């Protein structure tokens, strides 16, 4: 409800635990600066980021009890996803810090390869994550008001030919005006849950879908699509036979997600195991015989390619055995999440499938798996700020943009929250290039090429894997965030301290040169077959696999004392040495791409102009996708190098605002 108190306007929402109140000055026609719709992983990062920039924020969610809910798998991170987590944390995001307070097993994946593509991952206690996230949002986020309801419509005004969003209309009929609105609705837009042949409207179990909002987006002209995802059945951990299953332990010591932490909350020897099992031909036969009973398995609605349902796996790879990871949902929970058998068959068939899997012969299903279908917008209708091109002041983040996964959602949420707040404050927006980080890769892929399946981040999507490492995300983002206002003084001070230690250690190691044989002799390395006796600095020596940071610390104890006994800083220094040469090589390509990204193409550009020497096929691709830059045009399937040359020459003649001859030449070097 609204009320007046001492010249302030207060929006009050009573919950079972407390009254959440925040007051706003009555100095404009707006009730809030930033309104965020949805309390999932995108929404909480958007709320937190906008708050850190000192704007007044309203969070609209169905229930405070589900804020930060991990509605699918009980884990964060992975290969590519872990990179996103580190970048979010470097920008003072909150999910990494909460993971360090709630993880029950921490493991870096992909260690057989170089550290540039290692994947931070943690098995999470669901209840602990929800507890700490809600504490962070509800108790420790200034300038925030929370309202529990659904949103039925947007307040839209016309400014000339352009639509502008100025707030929301809630299910209880309130008109709440905001300078900007961030949609982070997850799977709620016309959400439909499927189990077997039964289906009913819901965004997730127990929550109503957003019908009115979906209708509004469609009616104003957004191109919409339909995607699907699913979740596996849950199993009672006490009914599993672990005797012949393969157990996996956590890393010792566990490595935290957050740059702010030297350690995680749980002791390394108290981390919980996960277990591996497999399907066999019996599972294949049972699912094949009953596939007609699953309404969810339809090709006209695309599901995730990289985390498909067990039905989809068997349809595509009938003769393969499929991995299933048995993942605990918490320290005090009896629930096991069987990662790998997302399933939408009838409940009775799901129980039979479970009991055909080794180790699960007597397992008891606690809850059946289900599928969710939902609407999303074509993300090519977004700017790189995640503001929509169709409606000013309206931002979108998370699964509404066609992505899948907590990490992809959180990455979009923090960018949308920052840019919504920046627009309210009259600041320049945050634009993250694909040369800057995996968040930039994510946004560029979505806004350039769109998606016809739930988008998932992998390291293979980046051209700059050696530069965009998990260890240096703070170097790439924290200074920038501090200058823009969304990184705290505390984080910035810690970053400066870390950067100073790394820089001084590098400078010292680069100042000492000796023949390689001398280094081997002093560090106790075997001299057999030592034919290479070139002069190398200590920093160059550190790049060789046979040499470690600890060896150099022993040799130069005084100069490298800040590195001693700090395994995180030791790992960072080793990575700096390992990738120093390659990073300089990638820098040249990154500069070329940045120059091409600066060559903007007007949304009104006429690709049908006869002066453009383009095939009809290329004209159609460019007209349909409307790339925002020359670099974006180059990445579109079917756009040839010759077409790019024609496009750039035309722009050079007819677009006097085109940046420089140098950048044009770069674009022509396709």
**What's the CA gap between 480 and 455, in Å, rounded?**
27
**What's the CA gap between 45 and 96, in Å, rounded?**
11
Cβ distance 192 to 374 under 8 Å? Answer: yes
Q: Is the pLDDT of residue 593 over 90?
A: no
Mean pLDDT lowest among 115-129, 139-153, 555-569: 555-569
Q: Is the pLDDT of residue 670 over 60?
A: no
**What's the CA gap between 643 and 626, in Å, rounded?**
14
Q: Is the pLDDT of residue 638 over 60?
A: yes
Q: How many Cα atoms within 13 Å fall on the side-chain side of residue 313?
A: 23
Distance of alpha carbon 532 from its chain centroid, rounded?
45
Q: Is the pLDDT of residue 21 over 70?
A: no
Task: Centre a 10 Å sphere on the Cβ of residue 567 and count the other Cβ atoms it contains.
Answer: 14
The chain-wide mean pLDDT, for the chain, equals: 89
**What's the CA gap between 556 and 567, in Å, rounded?**
17
Q: What is the mean pLDDT of residues 105-114?
A: 95
The per-residue pLDDT for range 348-378, each reduced to its tens digit, is 999 999 999 999 999 999 999 999 999 999 9
115, 415, 524 from 174: Cα distances, Å: 52, 28, 74
Q: Is the pLDDT of residue 13 over 70?
A: no
* pLDDT band, residue 299 (cuts 50/70/90): low
* pLDDT band, residue 587 (cuts 50/70/90): confident
| β-strand pairing of 19-25 with 162-170 | unpaired
Q: Which residues of 70-99 are buried (b: 16+ CB within 10 A; e: fewer)?
A: bbbbbbbbbbbbbbbbbbbbbbbbbbbbbb
- Residue 17 has what pLDDT? 32
- Residue 528 has what pLDDT? 59
**Residue 187 β-bridge partners:** none
Mean pLDDT lowest among 12-21, 421-430, 549-558: 12-21
Cβ distance 353 to 253 under 8 Å? Answer: no
Tell me which of 640 and 283 has the higher pLDDT: 283
The two three-digit tokens of residue 217, written as one number: 């987006």
* pLDDT band, residue 270 (cuts 50/70/90): very high
**What's the CA gap between 579 and 584, in Å, rounded?**
9
Cβ distance 442 to 412 under 8 Å? Answer: yes
Q: At what angle do helices 41-52 and 126-140 cross, to 10 degrees?
A: 30
- Which of 260-269, 305-314, 608-617 reaches the highest mean pLDDT? 260-269
Helix (H/G/I), strand (E/B), else coil: 319: coil
The per-residue pLDDT for range 52-89, each reduced to its tens digit, is 999 999 999 999 999 999 999 999 999 999 999 999 99
Q: What is the mean pLDDT of residues 266-284?
A: 96
Tell me which of 615 and 329 has the higher pLDDT: 329
Place of tokens 């009320």: 3
Task: Centre a 10 Å sphere on the Cβ of residue 651 and count the other Cβ atoms it contains.
Answer: 21
Q: Which burial class, exposed, middle or buried, applies to 459 when counting CB atoms under 10 A from its CB (0-12, 13-18, 19+)?
A: buried
The per-residue pLDDT for range 515-550, each reduced to its tens digit, is 998 898 888 877 655 566 789 999 999 999 889 999
* Structural domains of the chain in order of their starting residue, each with its CATH number: 2-71+128-225+378-484 (3.50.50.60), 231-374 (2.40.30.260), 504-584 (1.10.10), 598-668 (1.10.150.570)
Predicted model pTM = 0.90
């Amino acid at each position: 409800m609204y009320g007046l108190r001492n010249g302030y306007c207060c929006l009050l929402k009573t919950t079972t635990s407390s009254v959440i109140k925040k007051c706003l000055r009555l100095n404009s026609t707006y009730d809030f600066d930033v309104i965020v719709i949805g309390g999932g992983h995108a929404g909480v990062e958007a709320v937190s980021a906008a708050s850190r920039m000192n704007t007044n924020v309203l969070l609209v969610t169905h229930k405070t009890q589900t804020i930060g809910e991990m509605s699918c798998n009980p884990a964060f991170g992975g290969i590519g996803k872990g990179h996103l987590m580190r970048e979010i944390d470097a920008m003072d995001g909150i999910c990494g810090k909460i993971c360090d307070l709630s993880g029950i097993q921490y493991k870096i994946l992909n260690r057989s390869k170089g550290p540039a593509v290692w994947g931070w991952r943690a098995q999470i206690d669901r209840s602990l994550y929800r507890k700490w996230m809600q504490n962070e949002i509800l108790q420790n986020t200034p300038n925030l008001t929370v309202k529990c309801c659904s949103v039925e419509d947007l307040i839209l005004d016309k400014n000339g030919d352009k639509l502008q969003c100025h707030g929301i209309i809630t299910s209880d009929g309130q008109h709440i005006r905001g300078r900007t609105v961030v949609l982070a609705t997850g799977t709620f837009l016309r959400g439909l849950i499927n189990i077997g042949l039964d289906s009913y409207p819901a965004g997730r179990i127990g929550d109503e879908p957003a019908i009115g909002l979906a209708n509004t987006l469609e009616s104003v002209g957004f191109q919409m699509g339909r995607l699907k995802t699913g979740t596996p059945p849950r199993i009672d951990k006490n009914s599993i036979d672990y005797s012949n299953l393969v157990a996996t332990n956590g890393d010792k010591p566990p490595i935290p997600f957050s740059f702010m932490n030297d350690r995680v909350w749980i002791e390394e020897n108290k981390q919980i195991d996960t277990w591996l099992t497999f399907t066999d031909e019996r599972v294949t036969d049972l699912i094949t015989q009953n596939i007609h009973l699953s309404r969810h398995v339809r090709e006209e609605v695309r599901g995730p390619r990289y985390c498909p349902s067990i039905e989809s796996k068997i349809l595509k790879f009938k003769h393969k055995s499929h991995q299933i990871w048995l993942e605990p949902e918490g320290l005090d929970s009896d629930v096991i999440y069987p990662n790998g058998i997302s399933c939408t068959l009838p409940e009775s068939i799901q129980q039979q499938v479970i009991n055909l899997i080794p180790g699960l012969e007597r397992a008891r299903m606690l809850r059946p798996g289900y599928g969710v279908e939902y609407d999303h917008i074509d993300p090519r209708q977004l700017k790189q700020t995640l503001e929509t091109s169709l409606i000013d002041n309206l931002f979108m983040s998370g699964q509404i943009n066609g992505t899948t996964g907590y990490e992809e959602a959180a990455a979009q949420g923090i960018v949308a929250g920052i840019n919504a707040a920046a627009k309210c404050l009259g600041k320049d927006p945050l634009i993250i290039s694909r040369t800057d980080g995996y968040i930039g890769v994510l946004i560029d892929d979505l806004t350039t090429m769109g998606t016809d399946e739930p988008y998932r981040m992998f390291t293979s999507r980046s051209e700059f894997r050696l530069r965009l490492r998990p260890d240096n995300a703070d170097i790439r983002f924290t200074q920038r965030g501090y200058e823009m206002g969304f990184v705290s003084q505390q984080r910035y001070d810690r970053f400066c301290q870390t950067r100073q230690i790394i820089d001084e250690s590098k400078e010292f190691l680069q100042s000492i040169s000796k023949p390689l044989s001398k280094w081997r002799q002093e560090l106790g390395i075997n001299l057999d077959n030592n034919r290479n006796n070139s002069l190398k600095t200590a920093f160059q020596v550190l790049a060789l696999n046979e040499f470690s940071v600890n060896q150099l610390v022993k040799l130069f104890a005084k100069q490298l004392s800040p590195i001693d006994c700090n395994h995180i800083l030791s790992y960072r220094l080793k990575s700096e040495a390992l990738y120093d040469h390659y990073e300089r090589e990638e820098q040249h390509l990154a500069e070329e791409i940045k120059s091409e990204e600066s060559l903007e193409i007007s949304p009104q550009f006429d690709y049908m102009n006869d002066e453009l020497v383009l095939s009809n096929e290329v004209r159609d691709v460019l007209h349909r996708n409307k790339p925002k830059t020359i670099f974006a045009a180059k990445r579109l399937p079917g756009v040839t190098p010759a077409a790019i040359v024609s496009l750039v020459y035309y722009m050079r003649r007819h677009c006097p605002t085109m940046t420089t001859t140098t950048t044009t030449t770069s674009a022509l070097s396709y």
